[in-house]
Amino acid sequence: MIDTLRLTAYEAAKLLRERQITGAELWEAYRRAIDERDGELHCFLHVCDDPGGDGLPLAVKDVIGTKGIPTTAGSKILEGYVPVYDATVVRKAKEEHGLRVLGKTNTDEFAMGSSTENSAYGPSRNPWDPTRVPGGSGGGSAAAVSAGLTPWALGSDTGGSIKQPSALCGNVGLRPTYGTVSRYGAVAFASSLDQIGPVAKTVTDCAFLYSVIAGRDACDSTTVELPEAIRMPERVDLKGLRIGIPTEFTEHDAIQPGIRDLVHRTIELARELGAEVGECSLPLSLDYGLPCYYLIAPAEASSNLARYDGVRYGRRSASADRLEMYTRTRDEGFGDEPKRRILIGTYALSAGYYDAYYGQAQKVRTMLIREHAAAFEQFDVLLTPTSPTVAFELGAKTADPMAMYVNDLLTIPSCMAGLPGLNVPAGLVDGLPVGVQLIGPQFSENRLFETGYALEQAIGFDFVPERYR
Ligand code: GLN
């Protein structure tokens, strides 16, 4: 029997290599797990047939285009859309590593949200407690990994959509340095922020999946070659590493007390592993990160979402004339959150307000970049909580968009600065996973994996949700 709840991608690859299991058996095991548990969790919007071969299965967030496989971005406006080509990340996974797309995972509509409750196809649920959300927008990917429905998954992160769900579901998730992973073939939300990245059970699996998808792509001019190859982490100590603790992030009022304690315990552990730990300060990031993001991201979204007009992709609402067809398609096809952001973004970009809002937000963004750069003159890695709270009950924040936005308070600033961030599970509070976020300078993924690996080994977090053990 293959225990998909415990099996890591690394171990599965080894079993396949040693011919202890076949590719078909492995696929079958995940399909069985999906049949058993996804009725309750709703991680998948689409499950694929086995394309054959011996590669590992891979779940793909539904904002990433997959040839011949429906891609909806969690939106009714893309219902029925089947891409004619693979996103570069999917092509690389298939062609260069033989990975097989297992299915498409649920997401907040156009990746706008923090709980998957904005998905037009209904929310996903947290495998640790199905009355609670798995986080978002990539809650489907994160929940699928922790419920053993896939060895690993691809997510996308604009302001926290890999890091935050990974924290709430007890996964390791990387938001890569902006520009290291191709966005070609991904549904665009906010192009200066969007990055595709891996979600996995362990740091090693996460590092491996990152090495599969990273690198320059001629189809995405914002990509660059990695300055160094991705190494599988091995060291179990942190000697010589300087870790900075931005106190505004660890001591903020919005942070649940139990999470604060666990973060302090993790900091203590890092010290015991040999790291030099010191305090630092990122005051602008915390005060202006969120408001700045909620101008820039909607501004870019309003422009990116203009392409959904009933002509080029997916849904078209019937009507007598063309203008009415456009407007009805958009009115009926988009849910409340994309509409809210299109309105905010269009307003912020309008001629009379451009300088006051969008222009000003860009200046603030530069200040956030500088503030992080200054911290990295003294420290190699910054450590903060990933999410201010553990997974919350379904429905708890749906009536109040502002309450929902605050989930991303801690993940957004480094995204604005284009920096990589790794979520590593730190333990449980009230039986629910808590993650720490490790932030490094651009292209410091190897260092983040090494730091995360040493912590992971010392923490010994059991990634199988208690109710499945
Ligand atoms: N929750 C944030 C938002 O709603 C971030 C989403 C994301 O990273 N895609 O915009």
Distance CA(301)–CA(319), nearest Å, equals 26
* Mean pLDDT across 87-94: 98
- Average pLDDT over the chain reads 97
Helices vs strands, H then E, count in the chain:
15, 11
Tokens of 451: 């730091």
User: What pLDDT, on the 0 to 100 scale, is given for residue 287?
Assistant: 94
Q: What is the best residue among 62, 161, 300, 406 to mutate for testing ligand 1's pocket, by most ligand atoms within 8 Å of CB? A: 161
Flag whether pLDDT at 61 surpasses 90. Answer: yes
DSSP assigned state of 422? E
Distance CA(326)–CA(329), nearest Å, equals 5
- For 381-411, write each residue's pLDDT tens digit: 999 999 999 999 999 999 999 899 999 999 9
Residue 297 CB partners (closer than 8 Å, separation 6+): 158, 159, 189, 190, 193, 341
Distance CA(57)–CA(152), nearest Å, equals 8
Distance CA(83)–CA(447), nearest Å, equals 36
Answer for the pair 199, 162: CB distance below 8 angstroms, yes or no. Answer: yes
Flag whether pLDDT at 1 surpasses 90. Answer: no
* Torsions phi, psi for 18 (to 5 deg): -85, 5
Pocket of ligand 1 (CB under 6 A): 111-114, 137, 157-161, 189, 297, 408
Kindly give the distance from the C-alpha atom of residue 403 to the centroid of ligand 1, in angstroms, as a whole number: 13
Flag whether pLDDT at 77 surpasses 90. Answer: yes
61 is catalytic: yes
Distance CA(102)–CA(418), nearest Å, equals 30
Distance CA(110)–CA(187), nearest Å, equals 7
* Mean pLDDT across 279-304: 96
- For 345-359, write each residue's pLDDT tens digit: 999 999 999 999 999
Q: What is the best residue among 63, 64, 107, 108 to mutate for testing ligand 1's pocket, by most ligand atoms within 8 Å of CB? A: 108
119 is catalytic: no
Percentage of the chain with pLDDT > 70? 100
pTM: 0.98
Q: How far is Cα of residue 112 from the mean position of the Cα atoms in its chain?
A: 12
Residue of 75, 114, 137, 387 marked catalytic: 137
User: What pLDDT, on the 0 to 100 scale, is given for residue 429?
Assistant: 98
Query: Taking Cα atoms as reference points, which of 305, 262, 324, 277 lies closest to residue 75?
Result: 305
137 is catalytic: yes
Query: Taking Cα atoms as reference points, which of 188, 187, 157 lies closest to residue 175?
Result: 157
Distance CA(369)–CA(413), nearest Å, equals 9
Residue of 75, 115, 161, 285 marked catalytic: 161
* Mean pLDDT across 431-435: 98
Kindly give the distance from the C-alpha atom of residue 2 to the centroid of ligand 1, in angstroms, as a whole number: 35
Tokens of 192: 């200066």
* Torsions phi, psi for 345 (to 5 deg): -65, -40
What length is written for the chain? 469
Percentage of the chain with pLDDT > 90? 99
User: What pLDDT, on the 0 to 100 scale, is given for residue 116?
Assistant: 98
E strand or H helix at 292, and its extent? helix 283-304
